[in-house]
């Protein structure tokens, strides 16, 4: 029965691919194996290599003067009290605002009124309110926008609203321009492979969630898939309305001590941090921060389930500089598959329960602990595929709590209802293999 289900699923996956690309695929089935043959009719590229581009360097810090946002968050007065059901965060921020005039620089005091009552402020842990943004670990959704049932190119099961509701506070996605398109979309390698729609739609949903959750800080990492000038993205980002919550750094590049606390960001309303991996223009758009001058990453598209915690991007980063930046731990395991005489990289779907587990060989918990020991501080981002999988639903959040040294609060997870969660085993392992082979067919005969 499992084999029949697998065969039908594999054929359905490859058939859907053929309908999209116009390729010819035939199915030849024997008792114990399914062969797929086809003809190449497309030019969809597969690029398993690590993305690269121009890495920005700064010989000294640059102060960003502004007339609308504080150059220094000044002195914070914040108090929070917790009852059985509700935590209330109150306070104000005293800031010096730099303005340029013929008389030089003037200072003024700005007080922000208390925010409304909210349950579990500061990203679900009130203990994090007084910590700097740079001293907090969050679970990240690798390729957050890429959600589609049965698609081999998907990286997440639930949409961005569910992701945020479940506790995700770091979102990453790659921007591309569709062929002959004028509006940027979230696309997986190529918009012909997986087009998740205009970036304004996804960013608009994030803005709606941020607006409804005034005590949370969310980070967005945009991948510049076309290596385009940010001038082409900024109007569309502005159109989403999310810039009303954007955080603008006081200096570039940002070192660990330069970051404010979560409470400061919350009380000043600057609760969305946004990075661009390549070609950022900090002088024109200081809020769209260059990722790699503030953050480094462990190996991209990892194949090794020991997950070495080494600096891959930016390359040749001195250790002393690495220790003074944020860092992102890529923990989305891939598998190298040989299909029709070619090797390709695909998500290791059948290993998700192990990869996203709180402990054990190859687990998120193991890798995060190794990084913490090696760099004397935990990763800032645990970047995962299918965060809802693990040794139990939401085990990735237990790992983040452990890295933050706070008592784990187990919340309902995952998606609109947690009842739909099932471990990857039995027939589900067939699903994982089917998606792997479906991906391979797409890449090789697409």
Active-site amino acid positions: 142, 188
Q: What is the dihedral of CA 148, 153, 157, 162, to 10 degrees?
A: -80
Residues in the chain: 446
Under 8 Å between Cβ of 259 and 133: yes
Structure-token match 């220790």, residue found: 323
Structure-token match 């200081």, residue found: 286
The total of other beta-carbon atoms located within 10 Å of residue 234's CB is: 16
For residue 328, list its beta bridge partners.
297, 381
Cis preceding-peptide flag for 224 (omega within 30 of 0): no
Cα distance between residue 41 and residue 18, in whole Å: 10
Backbone angles phi, psi at 133, to 5 degrees: -50, -35
Q: 46 by DSSP, 3-state: which?
A: coil
Cα distance between residue 94 and residue 110, in whole Å: 6
Q: Cα–Cα–Cα angle for 31, 344, 308, nearest 5°?
A: 120
CA 215 to chain CA centroid, Å, is: 20
How do beta strands 326-330 and 295-297 pair? Answer: parallel
Q: What is the DSSP string of 251-304?
A: EESPPGGGSPBHHHHHHTT--EEEEESSS--TTT-TTEEEHHHHEEE--SS---
**Could you give the C-alpha distances from 438 to 6, 330, 427, 431, in angstroms and in order?**
12, 24, 16, 10
Cα distance between residue 151 and residue 194, in whole Å: 9
Cα distance between residue 70 and residue 97, in whole Å: 5
Q: 62 by DSSP, 3-state: which?
A: strand
Q: What is the DSSP string of 213-233?
A: -TT--EEEEEEETT---GGGT
């Amino acid at each position: 029965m499992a084999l029949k289900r697998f065969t039908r699923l594999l054929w359905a996956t490859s058939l859907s691919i053929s309908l999209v690309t116009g390729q010819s695929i035939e199915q030849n089935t024997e008792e114990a194996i399914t062969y797929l043959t086809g003809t190449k009719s497309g030019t969809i590229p597969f690029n398993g290599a690590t993305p690269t581009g121009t890495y920005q360097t700064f010989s000294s810090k640059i102060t960003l003067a502004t007339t609308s946002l504080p150059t220094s968050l000044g002195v914070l007065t914040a108090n929070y009290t917790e009852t059985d059901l509700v935590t209330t965060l109150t306070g104000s921020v005293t800031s010096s605002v730099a303005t340029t005039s013929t008389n030089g620089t003037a200072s003024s005091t700005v007080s922000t009124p208390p925010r409304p009552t909210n349950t579990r402020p500061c990203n679900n842990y009130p203990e994090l309110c007084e910590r700097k943004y740079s001293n907090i670990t969050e679970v990240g959704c690798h390729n957050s926008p890429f959600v589609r049932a049965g698609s081999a190119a998907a990286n997440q099961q639930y949409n961005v609203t569910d992701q945020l509701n479940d506790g995700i506070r770091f979102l990453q996605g790659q921007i591309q321009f569709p062929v002959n398109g004028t509006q940027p979309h979230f696309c997986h390698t190529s918009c012909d492979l997986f087009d998740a729609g205009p970036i304004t739609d996804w960013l608009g949903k994030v803005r709606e969630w941020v607006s409804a959750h005034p005590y949370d800080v969310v980070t967005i990492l945009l991948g510049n898939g076309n290596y385009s000038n940010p001038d082409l993205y900024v109007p569309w980002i502005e159109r989403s309305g999310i810039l009303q919550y954007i955080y603008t750094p006081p200096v570039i590049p940002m070192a660990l001590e330069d970051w404010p606390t979560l409470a400061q960001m919350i009380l000043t309303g600057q609760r969305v941090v946004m990075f661009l991996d390549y070609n950022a223009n900090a002088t024109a758009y200081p809020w769209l921060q260059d990722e790699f001058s503030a953050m480094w990453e462990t190996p991209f598209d990892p194949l090794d389930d020991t997950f070495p915690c080494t600096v891959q991007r930016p390359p040749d980063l001195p250790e002393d500089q690495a220790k003074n930046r944020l860092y992102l731990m890529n923990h989305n395991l891939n598998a190298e598959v040989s299909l029709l005489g070619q090797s390709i990289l695909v998500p290791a779907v059948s290993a998700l329960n192990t990869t996203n587990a709180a402990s054990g060989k190859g687990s998120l918990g193991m890798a995060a602990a190794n990084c913490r020991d090696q760099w004397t501080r935990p990763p800032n981002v645990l970047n995962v595929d299918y965060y809802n999988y693990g040794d139990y639903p939401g085990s990735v959040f237990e790992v983040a709590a452990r890295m933050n040294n706070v008592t784990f609060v187990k919340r309902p997870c995952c998606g609109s209802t947690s009842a739909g969660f099932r471990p990857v085993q039995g027939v589900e392992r067939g699903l994982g293999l089917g998606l792997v082979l479906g991906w391979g067919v797409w890449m090789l005969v697409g």
